[in-house]
Each structure stands twice: as C-alpha cells, then as structure tokens.
Structure 1
Amino acid sequence: MRKLLIPLFCLLLIHCNKQEPIQVKADLVEVLQEKPSDKYLPPPPPKEEISKNYAPTANAISNITENKSEKDTDIISKKVIKNGNLIIQVGDIKKAQNQTTEILNKNQAYIQKEEFRNIDTDENLNLVIRVPHKNFDALINSFSDGMGSVLSKNISSDDVTEEYTDVSIKLANKKIYLEKYRDMLKSAATTKDILEIQENIRELEDEIDVSEGRLRFIDDRVNYSTLNLSLYKEKVRSSATSKIGFGSRFGDSITEGWNSFISFVLGIISFWPFFLLIPLIIFLWRRWKARRKK
C-alpha cells in the first residue's frame, strides 16, 4: 500500500507544479482584458489638419533666430567695412601711374573708376580702387612709401556685424512664412483666399529680394575694401620747367585785358535806364527852381 501511495503523491506534486504557470497565464490574460480598449483613447490628429493649422509660434521663431544668430556669429565672426582716402603729390603722373599698376597687381586689386584732369596749374589722377579686405593695409603702406609726398590720409572702419545678423535672421523668418503661404495656396478653396495668399507671397518675395540684395552689398563691401586715391602734380610756372613760354603768357595777358575792357563797357551799358533818368531829373529840378524864383 505504501508503495502505491508514494507514486501517487509524486504524480500529485508534478500536477500541481504544472498548474501554477497556467494560473499565471490566466491572470495575465485577465489583466490584458481589463486594459482600456482603444476606443477610449483620443484619436491622433490627421496629418492634413496639422499641416493646415501649423503656424510658427513666437517661441519657435525665437529659437530659430537665436540658433541663426549663434550660427552666423560662429561663421561670420565680424563684418567690417574699410574705406580710405589718400592724396599723394608726385613728380611725374605717368611714372606714378605705372607704379600704381604694379602695386595693384601685387595686392590683387583693381580700378573701379578713373578720372584724369590737366589744367594750367596742376595735374590730377583720381582712382577708385577695390582691394581684398586682407590686402587693404598692405596697399595703403605701398602707396604711402616711395610714391611721393602724402598730403592727406584718411582711413575708416565700419562694423556692420549687427546689421548683417539682423537682416539674416529676418530673411530666414520671411522664408519660413513664404513656405507656409505656399502650402496654404495649395489647399485654398475660394478665389478670394487664393488672391490674398498670392498677394502675401508677392510681398514676401519682394522683401526677400531686398534683404538678399542688402546682404550681397554688405558682403561685397566687406570682402573688397575701397580706396579713393588722388595723384597730384603741381605745375611750376617757369621757362625751364614748364612748356608754357613767354609768348604764350604774353598773348594770354592781352586777351585777358581785352576781355576785362569788354566786360567793363558792357557793365556800363547795363546801367542805361539810369542814364535816361538823369536828364529827366535835371530838367525837373531846373523847372522847379525857375518857378521858385518867380
């Protein structure tokens, strides 16, 4: 009997061990069934509605502008426009012009505008020079040393980093709104909405063009500095150093005297109304005096 009970007891223990995991699984199924169904969860918003109702918030724009400004500051560092004015007195304009060409080639500069003037007293060669920003100081030193006597020198620097960054941030924001309006135009239903959106797009595109033009202008002025160079030569009035001789000067004096005489005569003629009044005044005065005697 004992031999029979022992195997039965072992079978009972084995059966109990198999029932426990089944019971756990049953509990888990009950827990899963007790979980709220999906019908009680709020449905996610449709992608189209998200696209239509999207508008950049002030915080988003602020984050964009801050990131843009930090990025621009890291990349741009500083935007400095350099300008200069230099007047040099030289002994020979032609020689100075050849030296100027060599200096420009050495510093990768070019002439934007050239003006030459030759009068009796002096010769002037005025040049507007554009030079890469990094070579500006070397160019100034090259002209100051050895070209001639420096009569005037004026160098100025204008830091436009703040303006450049401000324009860049506003430009980025305008492009964001431009894309938003273009998306709205695709889903516009009425003609009125289409016309209003198209007008907003046109205004934004004009503002973007102006901003981009301003940035290009600043970049050009920063990358290439401007130097106004004037080469001056004074003419000495002497027979040894000047081509103007005594005969020419004597003829000029006669012509100048004759012109002065003509100017004097014409000036007197211009007073003819007064000459007509003087006889009339004398006549009236004598008549009044005769009546007084009577």
Structure 2
Amino acid sequence: MKNTLLLLYCLFLTNCSKSASDKHSVNTEIAQSKNEAPMMALDVSSEPLPPPPPMEAASLTKTSVIESTSPKKIDTISRKIIKNGDMRIQVGDIKKAQIQVNNILKNNKAYIQNEEFKNTDADENLDLTIRVPHKNFDALVSSFSDGLGSILSKNISSDDVTEEYTDVSIKLANKKIYLEKYRDMLRNAATTKDMLEIQENIRELEDEIDVSEGRLRFIDDRVNYSTLNLNLYKEKVRSSATSKIGFGSRFVDSLTEGWNSFVGFLLGMVSLWPFFLLIPIIIVLWRKWRSKKKDKN
C-alpha cells in the first residue's frame, strides 16, 4: 500500500513539472512574438505601398479622352498672323526701278497680283500689289528699302486672327456633326412633312458650312501670303523754258503769255457775236414799249 501511494505521488510531481515547463515555454513564445511584432511591422512599413485600386472603365476612358484631346488641340493651334504693308518710293527712272523690283520679287518667291501705271504732266506712278510668302515678307521690305530709291512713306501692320480662326473652326466642326445627324434623320423620316423640314435644315447647314470653309480658306491665304502695296513715284522735271533761263527771258515769256491771253480773250468775245446782235434789238423793243406806255398816260 505504501508503495502504491509513493508511486502515485511521484507521478503527480512529474505531471506538475511538465505543466510548469509547458507554461514556461508558452510564455516564452508569447514574449518572443511580442518582441518580434514591432520588427515585423517595421519591415512591412519599409516595403513599397501596394498600387491603388484600378479606376472604373468609364471614368478611366473619360479621363484618357480629356487628357489626349485637350492638350493636343492646344498644341495643334498655331498663331495666325496676317502681315500687310504700304510703301511709297521715289525713283529716278521707273523702268530701271521696275527691273530691280522684278529681281527682288524673284529672289523672295513673290509675285505681282495687280499692276497700274499712271503718267501725268507732273509725275509718273507705278502701283504694284505684291503677294509674298509670310516668312519672306521682312526680307522683301528690307530689299525695297535698300538701294531702290528714296522712301517717302512706309507702313507695316500685323493682325492676329488666331481667335477668329479657332472660333470658326470649332463652329464648323459642330455644324458638320449636326449635318450628319440631320442626314440620318432624313433616312428615317416617316412623313413627307418631316422630310421637307429636315431637307431645309440640311440646306441651311450646308450653306453655313460653305461660308465657314470659305472664311478659313481666306484667312489661310492671307496668313500664308502677306500683301505689300508698293508705289514707285517719279517727279518730272518741268520742260518749259522758264525753268532753265534767266530773268530777262522769263520777262519776255511773260509778255508773250500775256499777249496770248489777250488774243484768246478777243477771240472768245468774237465767238459771242450772235448775242451782240440781239442787244440792239432788245434796246429798240424796250424803247417802243416805253413810248407806248407814256402815250397811254
């Protein structure tokens, strides 16, 4: 019996020691886990953050469209500058000056759009309307300013039409969109009344589109080719003898001119002889009328 109790006591002590050791090991593992937790958190925080969740397809498409269209529109719009000029140059010989002008035009790839020549007693005038590529405009003006003659006047102007060109282009694009919609409606029209109304709208839109396209073509032409109005002026030397001789000769010439004027006056009076014949007749009739008036009194 004693042996049995002793055996049970030993088993009890063995179990208690095992539980204590297990508890100690568990506590040790918990402490280690607590100590390792901050390190793990630190390691996780040092890793790169995960990418954000993908956007919805609709919002992504809309954003990509805005980003791809808006900047491109701004980049593709170039400045639209129209340059015009007026120059008046006094030259010694119109023909020689015209030869120089033709050489300058050839070097700058310009051409004459309109030409007009006037020859009066006092001067000679050659008016030229010149069209020149936009990039060669300044060089052309400089060439005319150097060596062609004496510049009497020069006026150069620049007009920025970028805003107008952009506005017309946007409106034109919108009108074309509406035109296609009206054409689709015309194909699906059910009644004759609807067809006539849609056709009228289509006609108006086509007219407006033609006007807008014409305006854009005009602006492009004025931008690509600048216009310069050039006037070559030559003052004539007076050919009369009074501009080349002294006072005595001028005095004689003045007497001659006076005599010629007097002769011209007499000839003019002679040309009025029919009216002079009427004067005596009018006087005779007036006297008869006056005498009759006195007899009645």
- TM bucket (normalised to shorter chain) is 0.5 to 0.7
Partner of 2:141: 140
Matches for 1:187-226 after TM superposition, within 5 Å: 187-226=188-227
Partner of 2:83: 82
Partner of 1:182: 183
* Cα RMSD, aligned residues only: 3.9
1:258 to partner: Cα distance? 10
Instruction: State the alpha-carbon separation in 1 of the partners of residues 109 and 139 from structure 2.
Output: 11
Matched residue SS, 2:147: coil
1:113–1:128: 8 Å Cα contact kept in structure 2?
Answer: yes
Alignment CA distance shift 1:266-1:119 (3 Å): farther
1:72–1:165: 8 Å Cα contact kept in structure 2?
Answer: no
Partner of 1:22: none
Instruction: State the alpha-carbon separation in 1 of the partners of residues 166 and 271 from structure 2.
Output: 64
TM-score, normalised relative to structure 1: 0.62
Matches for 1:14-53 after TM superposition, within 5 Å: none
Number of residue equivalences: 215
Give the gaps of 5 or more residues in structure 2. 1-64, 244-256
For residues 55-106 of structure 1, the C-alpha deviation after alignment (integer angstroms, 9 at most, x for no partner) is: xxxxxxxx99xx68x7554323321211111110000111101110111011
Give the gaps of 5 or more residues in structure 1. 1-62, 243-252
Matches for 1:117-266 after TM superposition, within 5 Å: 117-238=118-239, 261=265, 264-265=268-269
1:266 to partner: Cα distance? 9.9
Identity %: 69
Instruction: State the alpha-carbon separation in 2 of the partners of residues 105 and 179 from structure 1.
Output: 47
Alignment CA distance shift 1:291-1:97 (3 Å): same
TM-score, normalised relative to structure 2: 0.61
Structure 1 position 115 matched with structure 2 position 134? no
1:178 to partner: Cα distance? 0.2
Alignment CA distance shift 1:110-1:277 (3 Å): farther
Instruction: State the alpha-carbon separation in 1 of the partners of residues 165 and 267 from structure 2.
Output: 60
1:118–1:124: 8 Å Cα contact kept in structure 2?
Answer: yes
Amino acid of the structure 2 residue aligned with 1:124? N
Amino acid of the structure 1 residue aligned with 2:126? L
Alignment CA distance shift 1:78-1:289 (3 Å): same
1:113 to partner: Cα distance? 0.6
